[in-house]
């Protein structure tokens, strides 16, 4: 049994794309950045806390086959963590930081099972074009950037400004699928494999 400790529709979409069956149980944790915390440590900590919180909710049950998956994604530009914008003005500020430059998208993933807590961080480089004022205004008015780290989603309107990425495309959507599948196998078996056999992935 797999539980996704996230209410993100994009993560659910990606897990279904990978052929996994799961239920969703969002974790209620404090997602504020701690003083002196690096972006990588931040997303990894939140992923672990989400997974652990949902696991703890079920720990009095039969958890022999239970795996809880947590994830957290953030956008980083010049070392600054860009979370979800507070309003349109904040979204504009973030997009002006990103345009015409390269930034990083970091996703922490964590899986908890009876075999322990396993976690990793994936990093993708994203290249952004310049954004015209007309396009900026139209995009902000759409409301699309408001629930997304860095004020954009690569699978939406903002895709027109992204000529290329270096790294996992799905990581930018919120879940690096290949690394997630490997992590789930590790949580299931208590060990890591660089290329898990398809039969083991099918069992997840």
Tell me which residues are annotated as active site: 72
Tell me the HSE value of 126 on the side-chain side, using a 13 A CA sphere. Answer: 32
- Residue at token pair 């599948």: 181
Q: Name the nearest CA neighbour of 118 among 169, 71, 170.
A: 71
Contact between 40 and 20 (Cβ < 8 Å): no
Instruction: Note the maximum CA span of the chain.
Output: 56
145-170 burial string, b = 16+ CB within 10 Å, else e? beebbbbbbbeeebeebbeebeebeb
Helix (H, G, I), strand (E, B) or coil at 112: strand
Tokens of 162: 């992204």
Tokens of 193: 């494999």
């Amino acid at each position: 049994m797999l539980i996704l400790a996230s209410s993100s529709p994009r993560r659910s979409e990606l897990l279904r794309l990978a052929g996994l069956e799961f239920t969703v149980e969002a974790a209620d944790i404090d997602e504020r950045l701690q003083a002196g915390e690096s972006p990588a440590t931040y997303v990894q900590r939140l992923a672990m806390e989400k997974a652990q919180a949902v696991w703890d909710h079920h720990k009095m049950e039969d958890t022999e086959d239970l795996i809880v998956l947590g994830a957290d994604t953030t956008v980083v530009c010049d070392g600054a963590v860009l979370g979800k914008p507070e309003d349109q003005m904040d979204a504009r500020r973030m997009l002006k930081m990103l345009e015409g430059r390269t930034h990083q998208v970091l996703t922490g993933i964590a899986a908890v099972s009876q075999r322990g807590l396993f976690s990793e961080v994936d990093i993708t480089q994203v290249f952004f074009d310049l954004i015209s004022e007309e396009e900026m205004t139209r995009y902000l008015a759409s409301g699309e950037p408001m629930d997304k780290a860095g004020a954009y989603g690569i699978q939406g309107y903002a895709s027109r400004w992204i000529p290329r990425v270096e790294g996992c495309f799905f990581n930018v959507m919120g879940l690096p699928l290949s690394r997630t599948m490997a992590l789930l196998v590790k949580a299931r078996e208590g060990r890591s494999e660089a290329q898990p056999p398809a039969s083991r992935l099918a069992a997840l």
